């Protein structure tokens, strides 16, 4: 409290009472529990907020809320704030609302009062049309609250869904997140987890052991590495709380406060007309040789800065944010360095989700294409590659933001169509001279078309090699597609950056009139 105000009131009983309650609220579950939190390498709820937001910008609400449940001796465990800190703040000068669960109070468990505080701040974020940030550290539902805690989760989920596509929603998992609690992060836009202390699962190790007799640790069941590499639930893994909170700040630097506001512009240090003298040397002439597409991306974007999303999940496709002449842009790129850049189930879902986020918040998309097709095999087919691949198709076709494509090398079959081709309303499609746009590779095509004739020739092997070369001449280039208008222009690789910037500038005011409907039926 301001010292002048304290002198003015001369420590009146009312002010002393206020100061006492403020101290009690800030103390959370007490010094011993706070020390335990620190010993685990975790910050407290308020320390996390201080680390995340601009200095002295946090305005707290509902510090004095108390739960009303008196069952199971809960009347003896009443802490001001009830285990969650809520309020508004600024991050890099931009307004946000946020809540941070306090594990020192009843393990951060969610009671009816706890949920009401979260719902209130989410409602305020929607009214103000600014991002909502959740810092999760909770043992789950407060069991003593019974159905009221479940009702609280349901109220939060409904607000998550209502806010989806209207305001950005970002979650950091900084401790446990179990049971019904996992579904709020799952339907938010970005999830950050810490490597050592965070985990998410619907049912914990004890229940798993009881039901299916499987012994497994919390980390192996739902740790950060599991969710960033295998399930794809989390988008970022951080070494500790501070790094996780910095990641949230970085995400916010690329996205608008809501779906009606422009993205945050940053004056570029890079020249829009800069050409790259090494970009064409990154991609080998031999289309069977791998390369790292991120090196290509960094040659094109402002100052070589690319912020990758879901780096460890479905690594055969790359998604992330960059800036082009100061403006945020979403990037989707096949990654020939992993599985030859083939599209499979996980890659399709990863890219589709990112595309839909960018479209919801009016972030233009650039697509770099080098794709041999979809992953073959019974495992992919039986697990629904058709259905999941259709999600990527749907996301690209549905998106109305500016969409620009660069075909660098292979663009075969259905994968060519799906990777933001002209046929799915790609606005501008560029191709490098090395592009190969065809139903399939020359070798496979020659075997299908000419295999009967090969048996009648004197030298079947030489005959097939000749026919393979014939198919390459006809189709393994960008010019047949350019002749038909499927490719707008064939460009030299070194001019990729200035060409993309010009295209995005022209498309900045793009508008699409869609048929009137409630929503489409995405193949979920």
What is 359-371 written as a DSSP string? Answer: HHTT--EEEEEEE
What is the per-residue DSSP string for 265-293? P---SS-TT---SSHHHHS-SSTTS---H
Flag whether 137 is in a domain.
yes
Length of the chain: 524
Q: Does the annotation mark 140 as catalytic?
A: no
Q: Does the annotation mark 414 as catalytic?
A: yes
Per-residue CA distances from 367 to 73, 153, 283, 298, 500 (Å): 59, 38, 16, 14, 11
Least confident of 5-14, 16-25, 33-42, 264-273: 5-14
Flag whether 520 is in a domain.
no
The rounded Cα 383 to chain-centroid distance in angstroms is: 23
Least confident of 152-156, 378-382, 436-440: 436-440
Q: Domain ends where: 210, 234, 252? A: 252
Predicted confidence at residue 409, as pLDDT, reads 95
| 449 and 359 belong to one structural domain | no
| 220 and 358 belong to one structural domain | no
Percent of the chain predicted with pLDDT > 90: 77
Judged against a pLDDT cut of 70, whether residue 356 lies above it is answered with yes
| 423 and 447 belong to one structural domain | no
Predicted confidence at residue 454, as pLDDT, reads 64
pLDDT band at 474 (very low <50, low <70, confident <90, very high): confident
pLDDT band at 74 (very low <50, low <70, confident <90, very high): low
Catalytic residue among 115, 125, 352, 415: 415
Expressed as residue numbers, the domain containing 455 is 442-475
Flag whether 288 is in a domain.
yes
Q: Does the annotation mark 223 as catalytic?
A: no
Flag whether 516 is in a domain.
no
| 135 and 186 belong to one structural domain | yes
What stretch of H or E contains 91? strand 84-91
| 343 and 224 belong to one structural domain | no
Catalytic residue among 165, 180, 232, 326: 180
Flag whether 518 is in a domain.
no
CA-to-CA distance for 198 and 42, rounded, in angstroms?
Answer: 10
Q: Domain ends where: 204, 234, 252? A: 252
Listed as own residue / partner, the contacts of 268-271 with beta carbons closer than 8 Å and 24 or more positions apart are: 268/302, 268/303, 268/323, 268/325, 268/326, 269/302, 269/303, 270/302, 270/303, 270/325
| 242 and 199 belong to one structural domain | yes
What is the per-residue DSSP string for 335-363? -TTTGGG-B-HHHHHHHHHHHHHHHHTT-
Q: Give per-residue pLDDT as tens, 389-404.
A: 999 999 999 999 999 9
Residue with tokens 């179990």, as numbered in its chain? 178
| 72 and 220 belong to one structural domain | yes
Q: What letter would DSSP give residue 98?
A: E
CA-to-CA distance for 90 and 360, rounded, in angstroms?
Answer: 23
| 192 and 322 belong to one structural domain | no
Q: Which residues of 379-390 are buried (b: 16+ CB within 10 A; e: fewer)?
A: ebeeeebeebbb
CA-to-CA distance for 182 and 27, rounded, in angstroms?
Answer: 27
Predicted confidence at residue 463, as pLDDT, reads 72
Q: Does the annotation mark 415 as catalytic?
A: yes
Predicted confidence at residue 469, as pLDDT, reads 78
What stretch of H or E contains 406? strand 403-412
Flag whether 213 is in a domain.
yes
Task: Please state the domain count of the chain.
Answer: 3
| 213 and 323 belong to one structural domain | no
Flag whether 266 is in a domain.
no
| 311 and 436 belong to one structural domain | yes
CA-to-CA distance for 415 and 406, rounded, in angstroms?
Answer: 14
Catalytic residue among 414, 444, 466, 482: 414
Catalytic residue among 28, 29, 179, 222: 179
CATH of the domain at 210: 3.90.226.10
| 95 and 81 belong to one structural domain | yes
Predicted confidence at residue 475, as pLDDT, reads 75
Flag whether 514 is in a domain.
no
| 40 and 14 belong to one structural domain | yes
Q: Is 6 helix (H, G, I), strand (E, B) or coil?
A: helix
């Amino acid at each position: 409290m301001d010292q002048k105000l304290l002198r003015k009131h001369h420590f009146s009983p009312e002010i002393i009472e206020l100061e006492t309650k403020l101290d009690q609220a800030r103390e959370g579950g007490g010094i011993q529990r706070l020390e335990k939190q620190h010993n685990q390498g975790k910050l407290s709820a308020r320390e996390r907020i201080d680390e995340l937001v601009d200095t002295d910008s946090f305005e707290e609400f509902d510090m004095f809320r108390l739960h009303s449940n008196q069952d199971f001796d809960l009347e003896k465990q009443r802490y001001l704030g009830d285990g969650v800190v809520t309020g508004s703040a600024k991050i890099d000068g931009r307004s946000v609302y946020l809540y941070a669960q306090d594990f020192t109070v009843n393990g951060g468990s969610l009671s009816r009062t706890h949920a009401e505080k979260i719902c209130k701040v989410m409602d305020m974020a929607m009214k103000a049309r600014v991002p909502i940030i959740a810092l999760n550290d909770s043992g789950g539902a407060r069991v003593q609250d019974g159905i009221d805690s479940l009702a609280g989760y349901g109220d939060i989920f409904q607000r998550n869904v209502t806010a989806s596509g209207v305001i950005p929603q970002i979650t950091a998992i900084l401790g446990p997140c179990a049971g019904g609690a996992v579904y709020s992060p799952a339907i938010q836009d970005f999830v950050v987890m810490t490597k050592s202390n965070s985990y998410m699962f619907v049912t914990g190790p004890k229940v798993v052991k009881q039901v299916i007799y499987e012994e497994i640790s919390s980390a192996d069941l739902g740790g950060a590495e599991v969710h960033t590499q295998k399930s794809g639930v989390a988008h970022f893994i951080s070494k500790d709380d501070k790094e996780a909170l910095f990641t949230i700040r970085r995400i916010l630097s690329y996205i608008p406060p809501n779906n009606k506001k422009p993205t945050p512009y940053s004056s570029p240090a890079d020249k829009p007309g800069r050409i790259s003298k090494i970009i064409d040397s990154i991609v080998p002439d031999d289309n069977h040789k791998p390369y790292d597409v991120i090196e290509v991306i960094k040659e094109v974007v402002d100052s070589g800065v690319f912020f990758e999303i879901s780096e460890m999940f479905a690594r055969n496709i790359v998604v992330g944010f960059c800036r082009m002449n100061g403006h945020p842009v979403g990037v989707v790129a096949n990654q020939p360095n992993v599985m030859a850049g083939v599209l499979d189930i996980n890659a399709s879902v990863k890219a589709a989700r990112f595309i839909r986020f960018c479209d919801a918040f009016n972030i233009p998309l650039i697509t770099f294409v080098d794709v041999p097709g979809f992953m073959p095999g019974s495992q992919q087919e039986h697990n629904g590659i058709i259905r999941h691949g259709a999600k990527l198709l749907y996301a690209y076709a549905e998106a109305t933001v500016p969409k620009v494509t660069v075909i660098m090398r292979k663009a075969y079959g259905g994968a060519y169509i799906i990777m933001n081709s002209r046929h799915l309303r790609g606005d501008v499609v560029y191709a490098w001279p090395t592009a190969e746009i065809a139903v399939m590779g020359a070798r496979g095509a020659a075997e299908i078309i000419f295999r009967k004739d090969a048996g009648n020739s004197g030298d079947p092997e030489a005959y097939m090699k000749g026919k393979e070369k014939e198919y390459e001449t006809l189709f393994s280039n960008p010019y047949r597609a350019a002749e038909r208008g499927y490719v707008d222009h064939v460009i030299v690789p070194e001019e990729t950056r200035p060409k993309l910037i010009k295209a995005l500038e022209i498309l900045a005011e793009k508008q699409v009139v869609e048929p009137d409907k409630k929503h489409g039926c995405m193949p979920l």
